[in-house]
Amino acid sequence: MRNPQLNAAGDLIHLLTLEGLPAEVIRRILDTAVPFTSIAEREVKKVPLLRGKTVFNLFFENSTRTRTTFEIAAKRLSADVINLNIGVSSTTKGETLLDTIDNLVAMNADMFVVRHAQSGAPHLIAAHLNRTGRSDVHVVNAGDGRHAHPTQGLLDLFTIRHYKKEFHNLTVAVVGDVLHSRVARSLIHGLTTVGTPEVRVIAPQTLLPTALTSLGVRVFNDMREGLAGCDVVVMLRLQSERMKGALLPSAGEYFKHYGLTAEKLALAKPDAIVMHPGPMNRGVEIESAVADGERSVILPQVTFGIAVRMAVLSILAGN
């Protein structure tokens, strides 16, 4: 089955997942993002690459950060941006997802940035556009269920490359709720595709999907063991509804075993960087001293996120 995000010539027509994306496509996006980082420092923070294009932010699930950074990215490229916070309202009105899409296509949309609570929703939209001969309308996955968050994965790769220059000599640890995390899945696929020799996952068994090792990672239940010798530590957000219940007994016990403290970080390499996709739960997955410490690159991740999303939108628009 052909990867639905590539056309017959192998060009990127949608960005749905990093899984199966060729390494050169990922590198091209990262390279394209580099000059965009300096646009933010100019007095006029705009380039005309998407002038006349209309980008629809279709958020079927709430988000502030991702929606805002996509909006900024599109506006800095001079696109017209329409934000639709659909939530569950369209389904309660009886309109199906694909009916909504057809209507927006009829309004001459050029791109959809889609966030949805169901894994695979952006694939459904992209497949529908491909099937109806409208693959000129591009879909960017801004997070679908537990499946993928490819622009987050790309900005994580961009951040790692910015600080570490190369991937081929790195050990990267991803810590926390991988079971429910689209961020983790995208980062794991991205890291293995660009040739990271060791990707580790650290979590209790209740927060790990069954067949995780099939993604090419080493699994650790003990955080101290897993952090030893790491170059990069990526902390995942723990949703508050999962802190107490059948998956974990309490936030406090989670922090004791899997919270990142200065003392545990000392087990990683001395120049290891600390990342987090946000929003952080201070005192649950990470202590403030580390989150705000000199090895934290959490805020630069946000800044790079805009450049990476500009690169994705600009490449999809054919630049």
Partner 1 sequence: MNIAIRGGRLIDPKHDVDRETTLWIADGRVASIDASPRGFKAERTIDASGLIVCPGLIDLSARLREPGLEYKATLESEMAAAVAGGISHLACPPDTDPPLDEPGLVAMLKYRARSLNQANVYPVGALTLGLKGETLTEMGELAEAGCVAFSHADRPLIDTQLLFRAMQYAATFRYRVWLRAQDAYLARGGFAHDGEVATRLGLPAIPATAETVALATIIALARETGVHLHVCRLSTAEGVAMLRTAKADGLSLTCDVSAHHLHLCDVDIGWFDPQCHLVPPLRGTRDRAALRKGLAEGTIDLVCSDHSPVDDDAKQLPFGEAEPGATGVELLLPLTLKWATEDRVPLASALARITVHPAAVIGVDAGHLGIGRSADVCVFDPNEHWTVTRGALRSQGKNTPFLGLEVPGRVRYTLVGGQIVYER
Q: In whole angstroms, how close is the CB of 141 to partner 1 at the nearest point?
A: 12
276 touches partner 1 (CB under 8 A)? no
User: CB of 142 within 8 A of CB of 312?
Assistant: no
Strands (E), 96-170: 111-116, 138-144
Binding piece for partner 1, criterion CB under 8 A, among 208-216, 232-240, 254-262, 294-302? 208-216
Binding piece for partner 1, criterion CB under 8 A, among 153-161, 210-218, 285-293, 307-315? 210-218
d(CA 61, CA 116): 5
6 touches partner 1 (CB under 8 A)? no
Binding piece for partner 1, criterion CB under 8 A, among 61-69, 113-121, 278-286, 287-295? 113-121
**Of 36, 111, 37, 101, nearest in space to 79 by CA:** 111
Which of 106, 211 has the CB closer to partner 1?
A: 211
d(CA 255, CA 243): 10
User: CB of 121 within 8 A of CB of 144?
Assistant: yes
> In this chain, which of 116, 200, 237, 309 binds partner 1, going by CB under 8 A?
116
Give the full edge-to-edge strand order of the sheet including 111-116. Answer: 80-85, 54-59, 111-116, 138-144
Q: In whole angstroms, how close is the CB of 46 to partner 1 at the nearest point?
A: 35
Residue 165 has what DSSP assignment?
S
Q: In whole angstroms, how close is the CB of 212 to partner 1 at the nearest point?
A: 6
Q: What residues line the site for partner 1 (CB under 8 A)?
A: 1, 4, 19, 96-98, 116, 118-121, 123-124, 127-128, 144-148, 182, 185, 209-212, 214-215
